[in-house]
Amino acid sequence: MNYKELIVESGKKLIHDHLTVETWGNISVRDKETGYIYLSPSAMDYDQIVEDDIIVCDRNGTTIEGHRKPTVEKDLHILVYQHRPDVNAVLHTHSLHATAFACLGATIPMFLEEAAQVFGTDCRTAKYALPGSMELAENCVETLGEKSMCCLLKSHGTLCIGEDIKAAFKVAKVLEVTADLYQMILAMGKKPDPISDENIAAMQEFFKYSYRQ
């Protein structure tokens, strides 16, 4: 697989699917065979990035290929991979509705079936830390824990992960839809009915093993 091309195309998807604006957000994927991590460059227009702009690091974050500065959140991506062997793609987005809840330090619960299938756990907010800091990376990893596939970054945005880039994008899209619906329900002066733990477990099992051709 051409992982550099995958990062380039994913950057275009990130911006055109309205999951971020301008040059915000970042993307990485991990090659399961080599352990190499492919990262988007810092502060570049997603529609202008080409394969030569992609940075390749080893599992410790040491650059082994690339002439650009990597995303300022490189440490965040590296730490997620070190703590989550089930993860091979990381998306940092600035999607509108989810980020609104991030600014509140809120938790988005799994009241929607699609969210129950892909979130892993409720989507919680990591404690605030400066962008690009190791503190932010550590707060994010702590909030994700061993099961969650997404978290909110306080006053910042979201982090969505997956076994591959397709799965990470699914989490990001479902998170934004869920946040939008949650906002609508709260605006009605209501709270959504929770889905039982038993049904959440059943849906996650179905989505993982049965929802496919």
* Active-site residue (options: 5, 51, 73, 146): 73
User: Are the C-beta atoms of 131 and 139 separated by less than 8 Å?
Assistant: no
| Cβ–Cβ < 8 Å for 51, 6 | no
Active site residue 33: no
Rg (CA), the chain: 17
Helix (H, G, I), strand (E, B) or coil at 167: helix
What sign for the dihedral angle of Cα 173, 175, 181, 187? negative
Tokens of 92: 């940092």
CA terminus-to-terminus distance, the chain: 23
Collect all residues with Cβ–Cβ distance below 8 Å to 104 and sequence separation of at least 6. 125
What span, in angstroms and rounded, lies between the C-alpha atoms of 122 and 144? Answer: 10
> Measured in whole angstroms, how far is the alpha carbon of residue 75 from the centre of its chain?
14
| Residues designated as active site | 73
